[in-house]
Amino acid sequence: MDQSGFRLGCDIGGTFTDFVLVNTRTGEFFTNKCLTTPNDPSDAVEKGIKELLQVKPGFLDQVEDVIHGTTLVINAIIERKGAKTGLITTKGFRDVLELGREIRYDAYDIFSQYPAPIVPRALRKEIDERVTADGRVLAPVDEKQVRALVTDFQKQGIESLAVCCINSYENPVNEQVLQRIIQDADPDLSTSFSFEVLPQIREYERTCTTAVNAYVKPITFQYLERLTLRLADMGFLGRLYIMLSSGGITSVETARKFPVRIIESGPTAAVIASQHYGKMFHIKDMFCFDMGGTTAKSCLIQKGNAGLVSTFEVGRVQRFKKGSGLPIQVPVVDLMEIGAGGGSIAKISSLGLLAVGPESAGADPGPACYNQGGENPTVTDADLVLGYLDPDFFLGGTMALDIGKSRTAIEEKIANPLGTSVTEAAFGIHDLINETMAAAAKTHIAEKGGNPSSVVMSAFGGAGPVHAYGLAKKIGAKSILVPPLAGVGSALGFFTAPVAFDLSRSHRLALGEADFGDIEDLFAQLEKEGAAILADAAKDTRVMFQRTLLMRFVGQGAETDLVIDPKPFTQWSHKEIRDRFDTEYKRLYGRTYPETPVEFVTFKVRASLPQKPFSMPRLTGKANTLAACIKGQRKAFSVVNKTYIDFTVYDRSLLFAGAGFAGPAIIEERESTIVMGEDASATVDDTGFVWIRIGEETR
Q: Is the pLDDT of residue 2 over 60?
A: no
Over range 145-166, report the average pLDDT: 96
Q: Is the pLDDT of residue 697 over 50?
A: no
Q: Is the pLDDT of residue 203 over 50?
A: yes
Distance CA 581, CA 324 (A): 31
Name the residue type at position 35: L
Q: What's 222-259 look like in SS3? A: HHHHHHHHHHHHHCCCCEEEEECCCCCEEEHHHHHHCH
pLDDT value for 645: 94
Asked if residues 271 and 98 have their Cβ atoms less than 8 Å apart, the reply is no
Higher pLDDT, 90 or 688: 90
Distance CA 678, CA 170 (A): 61
pLDDT value for 399: 82
Buried b (16+ CB within 10 A) or exposed e, 371-393: beebebbbbbbbbbbbbbbbeeb
Q: Is the pLDDT of residue 594 over 60?
A: yes
Distance CA 327, CA 636 (A): 43
What confidence category does residue 699 fall into, taking pLDDT thresholds of 50, 70 and 90? Answer: very low
Give helix then strand counts, H and E, for the chain. Answer: 18, 35
Cα–Cα nearest to 490, from 204, 207, 267, 195: 267
Of 170-184, 441-455, 591-605, least confident by mean pLDDT is: 441-455
Over range 360-377, report the average pLDDT: 84
pLDDT value for 557: 86
Of 158-172, 339-353, 538-552, 680-694, least confident by mean pLDDT is: 339-353
pLDDT value for 535: 85
What is the share, in percent, of the chain residues with pLDDT greater than 90? 54
Q: Is the pLDDT of residue 251 over 60?
A: yes
Secondary structure class of 209 (helix, strand, coil): helix
- Give the CA dihedral 496, 502, 508, 511, nearest 10 degrees: -40
Domains, the chain, with CATH or none: 6-76+221-262 (3.30.420.40), 80-215 (3.40.50), 500-608 (3.30.1490), 626-694 (no CATH)
Distance CA 39, CA 366 (A): 15
Asked if residues 93 and 130 have their Cβ atoms less than 8 Å apart, the reply is no
Asked if residues 587 and 634 have their Cβ atoms less than 8 Å apart, the reply is no
**pTM of this structure:** 0.85
pLDDT, one tens digit per residue, over 81-117 is 899 999 999 999 999 999 888 788 888 888 888 888 9
Over range 256-280, report the average pLDDT: 88
What confidence category does residue 1 fall into, taking pLDDT thresholds of 50, 70 and 90? Answer: very low
pLDDT, one tens digit per residue, over 218-243 is 999 999 999 999 999 998 988 999 99
Over range 14-29, report the average pLDDT: 85
Q: Is the pLDDT of residue 696 over 70?
A: no
Q: Is the pLDDT of residue 4 over 70?
A: no
Q: Is the pLDDT of residue 3 over 50?
A: no
Q: Which spans in 9-112 are helix H? A: 41-55, 72-78, 96-99
What confidence category does residue 363 fall into, taking pLDDT thresholds of 50, 70 and 90? Answer: low
pLDDT value for 295: 78
Q: Is the pLDDT of residue 514 over 90?
A: yes
Please calculate the CA angle 444-450-452 and round it to the nearest 5 degrees: 80
Examine residue 117 and say whether the peptide bond preceding it is cis (omega within 30 degrees of 0): no
Q: Which spans in 502-594 are helix H? A: 516-538, 574-589
Average pLDDT over the chain, rounded to an integer: 89
pLDDT value for 698: 42
Indicate the length of the chain as a whole number: 699
Q: What's 617-649 look like in SS3? A: CCCCCCCCCHHHHEEEEEEEECCCCCCEEEEEE
Distance CA 394, CA 128 (A): 61
Cβ neighbours, 10 Å, residue 30: 15
Q: Is the pLDDT of residue 318 over 80?
A: no
Of 255-264, 288-297, 456-465, least confident by mean pLDDT is: 288-297
Over range 17-26, report the average pLDDT: 87
Of 294-308, 491-505, 678-692, least confident by mean pLDDT is: 294-308
Over range 596-617, report the average pLDDT: 89
DSSP 15: S
Phi first, then psi: give them for residue 260, nearest 5 degrees. -65, -20
Buried b (16+ CB within 10 A) or exposed e, 472-499: bbbbbbbbbbbbbbbbbbbbbbbbbbeb
pLDDT, one tens digit per residue, over 475-511 is 999 999 999 888 888 888 888 888 999 999 999 999 9
Of 336-350, 452-466, 666-680, least confident by mean pLDDT is: 336-350
Q: Is the pLDDT of residue 319 over 70?
A: no
